[in-house]
Amino acid sequence: MTSTQIRGAAARLHVSTHIRRALWAGDLLPGQRLVVQDLADQLGVTRSSVREALFDLAADDLVETVPNRGASIRVVSVDEAIQITECRSALERLCARKAAEHATEAQRAELTEIGERLRAAVAEEDFHTYSALNRELHDLVIEFSGQAVVKRQLERLNVQMVRFQFRLALRSGRPQESLPQLLAIIDAVTAGDSAAADAAAEAQLASVIDQLRMTETLPPH
């Protein structure tokens, strides 16, 4: 517990931010229980602040609350993961187009450097680094697009997919398959070719959907 207890809206935000970051980091897993008292003690907030934050997270489909059983991280089925990825595709294609149109020279150089690091990670079979760079690339394209509304929507969608994204990125042969797809996005954006960026983003997310269709159950934790 922190020495000074956080209260009010700040406490509510503190709890929800903590849980979202833990999901991204893989520290919280689908189905894992969220104990109100434990969170309150850990984060230095009131129980009511934790309950309010869990309500917010439930509204974003990240947490599930069951009467007499409390709250837990919501489990996303394969079918739902496919639907989420289809939504991501539409939004990320928009971001790729806008990034191609508006990215600065410095931003284009940053994407080129990410591409070099992706190549190196695959060559060295450092697939954990590759997975992190894959996510970083998507985040940068979204950021460089200037689409703040889309960014918020994708953050909500992507955090539900984190376990799938991590496991798919480490699936045997997947990095070698997806590397050219990611490089195609980089090439199109850095060339300022919005149509090619759209097509490359669509192809990359379609490949993710194909991989999800091969997954009959939630990937093992």
Position with higher pLDDT, 22 vs 7: 22
Residue 129, CA atoms < 13 Å, CB-side half-sphere: 13
Torsion over CA: 152, 190, 170, 91 (sign): positive
Q: Which of 220, 200, 172, 217 is nearest to 81 (CA)?
A: 217
Mean local confidence (pLDDT), 137-144: 97
Query: pLDDT band at 23, cuts 50/70/90?
Result: confident
- Among 16-30, 90-104, 181-195, the minimum mean pLDDT is found in 16-30
What percent of the chain shows pLDDT beyond 90? 61
Q: Which of 148, 111, 137 is nearest to 205 (CA)?
A: 137
Q: Strands of 13-131 (E only): list them.
A: 33-34, 63-66, 70-73
Query: pLDDT band at 69, cuts 50/70/90?
Result: confident
Query: 148-160 and 162-169 are packed helices; what angle lies between their axes, rounded to 10 degrees?
Result: 70
Q: Measured between alpha carbons, how far is 202 from 44 in angstroms, rounded to an integer?
A: 44
How far CA 214 is from CA of 156, 165, 208, 218, in Å, comes to: 24, 14, 10, 11
- Among 10-14, 76-80, 199-203, the minimum mean pLDDT is found in 76-80
Q: Which domains are delineated in the chain?
A: 8-73 (1.10.10.10), 78-213 (1.20.120.530)
pTM of the model: 0.76
Query: pLDDT band at 70, cuts 50/70/90?
Result: confident
Burial class (CB in 10 A: 0-12, 13-18, 19+), 37: exposed
Q: Is the pLDDT confidence value at 139 over 90?
A: yes
Position with higher pLDDT, 217 vs 139: 139
| Residue whose structure tokens are 């990095």 | 175
Residue pLDDT, tens place only, 87-100: 999 999 999 999 99
